[in-house]
A and B are shown apart, each in its own frame.
Chain A
């Protein structure tokens, strides 16, 4: 089976934006060891595309923010992770895009900027 066909199979393994266990059980016996590796890789990638990771320094996020994030990323699963090193603000990872809206990143940027200015 060619990589492109495995990719298509991985795409078809989802029902309503969630992995469908029945479909997966049907697909996996058809694949060899190497092909299975490729299949898992594609599943991970697709899963990644369908998930948005939100890093916050606090545990309880206001409902207002949650609603706003949901409207920003419709049809995507939003996972919340606590990261106290951010100090304040958010870090949002959507597939291969990272949005830095936190104090830590601003301070890091400031340090780099000043370092370059006074080198």
Chain B
């Protein structure tokens, strides 16, 4: 049954350009896949390692900026991809060393500050990043001689990367390393007692997460052929975090569902109102207050609660003690 569902989903995804037809919607699908890769990467840290970060758009942006600089310097696809990902990994390592000095709320505060440094560089270091005007690249690179200029072709290229990312996540979750990462989230002291190096496990999880954020950032650059400080702003990190928590953290499908939800909401919202940030903020507040377990499980719970209100009450139930 699960395999059947998986096969149908794969088939639908692979043939999407044929049954959608309109290139606008194919592009929306491409964007969703790119953000799904980003959300999958972020979920490693937020969901499995239990380390909430608000600086991940910085890593996404570093990959895109490094890629743009390398493309404009006239390098080929391989050099661009390797260079951009190497730069992202180096930055991730730095982020991790600093942010892991704090735990819990300290970690959040440090990642906010680090994300703002990247934003500050993107916005103010004009000779490197061209400031507010951003950097454009003239054409999408042609990896292995494939032309990626049409919406369909780029969709399939993104789909391949996305599937590799999903497979990597599935392997990560099932691996002993994945179990160790979850262990450091739930019981760091016991993990230490068992002989695991908690710091190193978290550091590696951070690197893994940063790598996929970088991949998504590079795809984003190729897709838009443009990168500007807007991409690395705090609101971009918040958006990615919303994808992860909306879909349900520490699940394989959650971030993907979250990315679909957020991109569609953003697309629909921006057609009617220009205030996406307000909607984003409001969704955050609503989700956190009413559905702390994520949008999908939360909706199910609220639905059941609503149904139970409609039903006539039968036998009296023992009153549940409130926690006072």
| A and B interact physically | no
